[in-house]
Amino acid sequence: MMLRAGSVLITYRLDSPPEDITTRRALATKIADHDLKFLTYQGPVNHGRGSVQLVDKGTYRIIEQHPAFTIFEFSGNILRGRYKLTAVNDDQYKFECEI
């Protein structure tokens, strides 16, 4: 999941595809911020150790933000509505739909 914040993409690795997150929670691991050019990139990453593909796109806005959690509203093709990102430890978060 890449969220544009000014001139960077705040990036999380999700353990589930977006269509599964609409019905259950996922684990989101914070990874390094990325350049904007990665908004449309698909292909190998980390010298061929993995790959990335564009699965969903749209817009988001932050509804509420606290040190322990952030609530977003997504308007994507798959992720639509409110979702909560809750800190579990330093770089891991629960990501779940807020119905």
| Residue-level pLDDT at 47 | 84
Q: How many CA atoms lie within 13 A of 16 on its CB side?
A: 17
Rounded Cα distance, 87 and 93, in Å: 4
Q: What are 59's strand-pairing partners?
A: 75
3-class DSSP assignment, residue 50? strand
Can you list the positions of beta strands (E) in the chain? 2-5, 8-14, 26-35, 43-45, 50-52, 58-65, 69-76, 80-87, 92-97
- Tell me the domain boundaries of the chain: 2-97
Q: Is the pLDDT of residue 99 over 70?
A: no
Question: Which pTM was predicted?
Answer: 0.89
Rounded Cα distance, 77 and 58, in Å: 7
Q: What is the pLDDT of residues 31-73, one digit of tens each?
A: 999 999 888 999 998 888 888 888 999 999 999 999 999 999 9
